[in-house]
Structure 1
């Protein structure tokens, strides 16, 4: 693909921002994020990385729900699968500097495989869309229950114990050679991966694949009658969402060096849905902004020692359902630049898909 082709995809209509003013503003924000650690302590930079690391998880759900029309409450399951996989691999290979890198690859691959198996039975079994959120939530709760029962010494893989409800601790940080990614280094590492995930998703939703995915969301039967294999498209976006959730899980365990079964519980399962709904589920940039802001609010309230965060999250979700069905951030963006979106059309197939 040529540079002009990539630019056309980046500037496509399936996300916020196409004007020169937008790209200047985006560049200014990126510059601010790059300079932020130079005006912070290492601890503050680590916290800033925490606000960023959940964005790939939210982007994956946006791709799946906002663009694909498939709501999932199971994304934190892949978050946990990747985190535990990384902990097991990196922990057992702690003697070599390649252990964390192998753990990263293993975590993503494991999420993709589990997502592909689960998605195959769901989509090729033609499970109705309204049942999928229930199945994904059940999968998440079953995973939490299983991980909580792994407290005994017999529950270990190699030298790494799963830890039961106490969780897995002493998970190695990511490193390349002798460089361990902590503090400032971890912030830039997280920012780079998060930005890469966003750019890839933006390119994808504005591509031919993205147009077909939106057409599947709008009218499954019509898209299928035009020769597209809609099950393949649903399965691929499901696997992509699982891999992105896994990326957030990998960054989380490298940030805190631990993970517990509570990370895949009922409340964490609902939070990504709130982030995506508040931002605007079919607007990737809005989702990224909402995820960053809501994680900052949640962390600030927790640090202050109060329990208002769940109340605020629930209120925001209620407000979105009643007054901002397209999302709060997306609604603000559209107020600044009104734009009528045409009804989704199915792109002409190049051949059987």
Structure 2
């Protein structure tokens, strides 16, 4: 993957550099807050991958977010050994991947696409949240772990590696850098994938599934694969969230939680991973800044922003910012509409 000097890449580098330096100057409380902001980016990146690059609109990313966190907590609390947390982490990611693969297989091989994928994932989200909220009784437990109903599971530990005296536990700054390392790794992996041959296949499917099928692409297989990958990325965010807050509740996979990444990705720019990441971080900070007035106020502003985006900058606020900075500092010309070129021709010569 070649590095291009443009606004998107420069902002991404500066953003990650700032994240590396934050623990050197900020208090422990602020460092953990920023870690939570970064955890929310995993959901946005997973959605941008399937919606922006593949055309799969999903309301179900929080399904996998919740499954990852719950599996991680249940496995560790049943074993009770700190060195077991990496195994529980991998198991949580794989469990969410299996669920995503099963759901994706029945949808895409069954010919379900477009808005119906959004409806199915929305229904699964509502069913899963409702079910988990009803597990408050003592009979609802897995091994020795009570599911806790709407209160969820508490006492979930952070991540540890090693054994015995060599055991290292990620707390405070070390947990922050763990989240940052995983975020950078996922971000770079996705940036590489979307410009690879597989990424071009995703774009082809997004633009025209029937034509992609005629060119020999196994469309349902590719859709299922990318849906599974996005579910695993979302589940990693859920595991880190459980390790960050030491709890997991059904509200993390509810309707409000499922709607938020959709709005953030749409407003920031669903066809650009960096834009989705930047806007998610901005909203997370802004929401906490307004927390004294209640998060609902931040949601109102976010809703108004989305309406303005749909009307004036359908490609996203951050994407338009990138384009403006490119024209201002990197002498990049405004994107040319290929359909307009076909109609008007090049250098005054008609191509019709």
* Residues 205-253 of structure 1 deviation map (CA, whole Å, 9 limit, x = unaligned): 0000000110111011111101110111111110011011101101111
- What residue in structure 1 maps to residue 250 of structure 2? 261
- Count residues with an aligned counterpart: 329
Unaligned runs of 5+ in 2: 327-332, 340-352
Matched-pair contact (CA < 8 Å) for 1:57–1:247: no
Q: 1:4 matched to which residue of 2?
A: none
Match of 2:113 among 118, 121, 128: 128
- The answer (yes or no) to whether the contact 2:8–2:322 under 8 Å persists in 1 is no
Structure 2: distance between partners of 1:236 and 1:20: 31
Structure 1 distance, partners of 2:10, 2:103, is: 42
Q: Deviations over 1:53-75 (max 9, x none)?
A: 11121111001000000100010
C-alpha deviation, 1:304, in angstroms: 4.9
Normalised TM-score (structure 2): 0.89
Alpha-carbon spacing, 1:279–1:158, altered in 2? closer, same or farther (3 Å):
same
Is the 8 Å Cα contact of residues 173 and 254 (structure 1) preserved in structure 2?
yes
Matches within 5 A, 1:95-134: 96-134=81-119
For the residue of structure 2 that corresponds to 1:325, the secondary structure is: coil
SS at match of 1:54: helix
| SS in structure 1 at match of 2:315 | coil
Q: How does 1:109-188 map to 2 (within 5 A)?
A: 109-177=94-162, 178-188=167-177
- Counterpart CA distance in 1 for 2:284 and 2:150 is 24
Contact kept in structure 1, 2:44 and 2:264, CA below 8 Å: yes
The 5 A counterparts of 1:306-325 are: 307-325=296-314
Aligned to 1:347: none
Give 1:27 shift: 3.6
- Report matched runs for 1:232-271 at 5 Å: 232-271=221-260
SS in 1 for 2:82: coil
Distance 1:314 1:29, change over 3 A: closer
Deviates more, 1:303-312 or 1:74-83: 303-312
Deviations 1:16-72 (A, max 9, x none): xx2177655544433221111111111111001011011121111001000000100
Q: Distance in 1 between matches of 2:246 and 2:228?
A: 26
Tell me if structure 1 keeps the 8 A contact 2:56–2:113: no
For residues 282 and 22 of structure 1, the distance between their equivalents in structure 2, rounded to whole angstroms, comes to 13
Distance 1:247 1:110 in 2: 11
Give the drift of 1:153: 1.0
What SS does the corresponding residue of 2:135 show, helix, strand or coil?
coil
Query: Is 1:69 paired with 2:55?
Result: yes
Do residues 300 (structure 1) and 289 (structure 2) align?
Answer: yes
Q: How does 1:29-40 map to 2 (within 5 A)?
A: 29-40=15-26
Return closer, same or farther for 1:343/1:110 CA change in 2, 3 Å cut-off: farther
2: CA distance, partners of 1:64 / 1:306: 28
- The whole-number CA distance in structure 2 between the counterparts of 1:237 and 1:343 is 28
* Alpha carbons 2:39, 2:241 under 8 Å: kept: yes
Separation in 1 of the partners of 2:16 and 2:276?
16
Other-structure match for 1:52: 38
Residue 340 of structure 1: which of 323, 327, 335 is its match?
335
Distance 1:49 1:36 in 2: 10
Residues 278, 327 of structure 1: 8 Å contact kept: yes
TM-score scaled by structure 1? 0.89
Cα RMSD between the aligned structures? 1.7
1:91 alignment partner in structure 2: 77
